[in-house]
Structure 1
Amino acid sequence: MKPVHSLPGLAVTREGTRAVIRALPEEVPVAVSFDGTTLAVMMCSPADIADFAHGFALSEGVIDRLGQIESFEVVEHPNGIEARFWLAGDRSEALKARRRQMTGPVGCGLCGIDSLDEALRPLPHVGQPAIALTRAEIAAATETLRGHQPLHDQTRAVHAAGFLRPGEGLVLAREDVGRHNALDKLIGALARGGSDASAGAIVLTSRVSVEMVQKAAMARSAVIIAASAPTAHALRLAEEAGITLAAFARAGGFDLYSHPDRIDTGDAHVA
């Protein structure tokens, strides 16, 4: 399935109308199943599906490590894609705790969740990984991420999540029509590539909502850098989980919130 389709439209301006062909991102239902039972159906960009599925399994707590996966396959159907996991050992309790039926829009990360308690589940503390970033690295992060978004360049309609490693720059990025999906794809790509998420920062093109902090914490990533704002509760969760949160990172500056000690701002505080 192609992630982009060129389709006709009619551009209407003050000067009149004209026929146009626009590159539009595709979105398809992706069913993630474990041991023969579908856990979630998400609307996704049909690219990097294996990364998405593995990241989803990790960020939702279905598995703790890739070694708990016995086998995996991606199966395309006429109406969508199925990502099938078969797990080693008994993971039934983890599956029950994170059971969802998510067929809602891509912007919703909590559609159909069974319990209010599960929506705000306790998060692991990310600890004190040996990571330090400079002011310049944070300030340039989202602009650098823009250079790793070929799907966005074509369509202007997708989100991205990237991984910034101190001293090396942005080393990995994934895109999707859904910001949650883009982050899951990134988490999955890091895990499948054997990279430690705690050794760098997650960079987002979107706002920082509760579920974005939850996914970062489950991946044990200690720094989030975002182009837009956090919600108040997302900030509270980041503080509790030990995550450094830098928001409004654009135009050479950023706002620094929780756990600022991992960032070398380079100068004294200006009131």
Structure 2
Amino acid sequence: MTSSRVEPALTLRPGSTVEGERRLAVEAAVAIEVDGLGYAVMMMTPTDLGAFAVGFMLTERLADTAVDVIDVDVFEGEDGWIVRVTLAKRCAGRIHDRVRHRTSDTSCGLCGIAGLEQLRRPVRARPPAPQATSAALFAALGRLRGHQPLNAETGAVHAAAACDADGHILLACEDVGRHNALDKLIGTLALSATAADFLLVTSRLSFEMVDKALVGGVPMLVGVSAPTTLAVEHAREHCLTLVALARDDAMLVMHDPWALFG
């Protein structure tokens, strides 16, 4: 199982660009099946999946001890990894109750998804070409802190901001969860019929974050942390401009389908 791989990248600095590459953490869909029932799809690094399965059964209260996990079968499928868990008979009733009532309560899984075949949900339309220049990205980054009042008080929350082509922040939302902050922003944009040229988030760029940006119909997603492999692939597949590791002195362009920066 591979935990990282190298992808081409373009380093964007004020006034210059440099071609290079970046090693990314591998993100993969891992479907968890328990006693023949689809339970969850986790977006994660596909290593130590046997140990993960045991720990997940324990933390989900589906098993009381490691001995209750009778067997773990791990294999790679076309769309990701599948982990099939067999529990002791005394634990069997728990999974049926949980599958009926469970909603995703983690920050690394896909809500409402129980099998890998559901991972490739349709994207309504490809996003348009962004209009922002590199100067606008740096400008928005410099303005972001002024739109994070809760984080200024607590130092413990993420932000997602909608920006115009000049780098002005139109709207910003905060939440302890990075997914929640972006969902709040996308909902606010939809309710207010506000169009953004790019989104700026204070987190890593995972598959889910890219997918949410695509659902929101924005041209570009910018994050202050690194992307995962699956995030880059999803952006490439659907023509989303993706910029990572946004700092005051440099940013990393991972996908630029409109040659905006090249």
TM-score tier after normalising by the smaller chain length: 0.5 to 0.7
| 1:184-199 matched pairs, under 5 angstroms | 184-196=183-195, 199=196
Residue 200 of structure 1, CA deviation: 1.1
Distance 2:157 2:127 in 1: 32
Change (3 A) 1:170 1:263: farther
Aligned partner of 2:105: which letter? G
Matches within 5 A, 1:149-160: 149-160=148-159
Preserved contact between residue 100 and residue 112 of structure 1 (Cα < 8 Å): no
Percent of aligned pairs with the same amino acid? 42
Structure 1, unaligned runs of 5 or more: 1-98, 266-271
From the superposition, tell whether residues 255 and 263 of structure 1 become closer, same or farther in structure 2 (CA, over 3 Å).
same
Question: Which amino acid in the other structure matches residue 155 of structure 1?
Answer: T
Match of residue 226, structure 1, among 223, 227, 232: 223
Q: CA deviation at 1:137?
A: 1.3
Residue pair 2:205, 2:223 contacting (<8 A) in 1 also: yes
AA partner of residue 181 (structure 2) = A
CA contact (8 A) 1:174 1:182 kept: yes
Residue 116 of structure 1, CA deviation? 1.5
What count of residue pairs does the alignment treat as equivalent?
Answer: 163
Q: Check whether the contact 1:125–1:242 (CA below 8 A) recurs between aligned residues.
A: no
Indicate the residue corresponding to 1:250 in structure 2.
247
Q: State the match for 2:103 in structure 1.
A: 102
Partner of 1:126: 126
AA of the residue aligned to 1:182: A
Provide the C-alpha distance between the structure 2 equivalents of 1:162 and 1:108, rounded to a whole number of angstroms: 21
Could you tell me how far apart the structure 2 residues matched to 1:169 and 1:212 are?
21
* Mapped partners of 2:152, 2:229: distance in 1: 31
CA 1:148–1:212 in structure 2 vs 1: closer, same or farther (change >3 Å)?
Answer: same
Give the C-alpha shift of residue 259 in structure 1: 2.2
SS at match of 1:102: coil
Give 3-state SS (helix, strand or coil) of 1:133's partner. coil
Per the alignment, in what secondary structure is the counterpart of residue 141 of structure 1? helix
Matched, 1:114 2:111: no
| Residues 221, 240 of structure 2: 8 Å contact kept | yes
Contact 1:226/1:248 (8 A) holds in 2: yes
Cα 1:111–1:189 shift into 2, 3 Å: closer
The TM-score normalised by the length of structure 2 is 0.57
Q: Residues 75-112 of structure 1, C-alpha deviation per residue, up to 9 Å, x if partnerless?
A: xxxxxxxxxxxxxxxxxxxxxxxx9943523x234256
In structure 2, what is the equivalent of residue 58 of structure 1?
Answer: none
Ranges in structure 2 where 5+ consecutive residues have no aligned partner: 1-99
User: CA 1:142/1:101 → structure 2, altered by over 3 Å: closer, same or farther?
Assistant: farther
Q: 1:175 to 1:262 in 2, by over 3 A?
A: farther
Q: What SS does the aligned partner of 1:263 have?
A: coil
Classify the secondary structure of the residue corresponding to 1:175.
strand
CA distance in 2, matches of 1:243, 1:103: 26
**Equivalent position of 1:174 in the other structure:** 173
Q: SS at 2:108's partner residue?
A: coil
Q: Secondary structure of the equivalent of 1:154? A: helix
Change (3 A) 1:134 1:100: farther
Letter in 1 for 2:152: D
Structure-2 separation of matches of 1:209 and 1:157: 20
Q: Which residue of structure 2 aligns with residue 51 of structure 1? A: none
The alpha carbon displacement at 1:214 in A equals 0.8
- Cα-to-partner distance string for 1:30-87 (whole Å, 9 max, x where unaligned): xxxxxxxxxxxxxxxxxxxxxxxxxxxxxxxxxxxxxxxxxxxxxxxxxxxxxxxxxx
**What is the deviation of 1:246?**
0.6
The structural deviation recorded for 1:115 is 1.8
Evaluate the alpha carbon distance shift between residue 111 and residue 219 of structure 1 in structure 2; reply closer, same or farther with a 3 A threshold. Answer: closer
Answer whether contact 2:159 2:178 (CA < 8 A) is retained: yes
Change (3 A) 1:256 1:172: same
Inter-CA distance 111–132: structure 2 relative to 1 (3 Å threshold): closer
Distance (whole Å) between structure 2 residues aligned to residue 125 and residue 169 of structure 1:
25
TM-score for the superposition, normalised by structure 1: 0.55
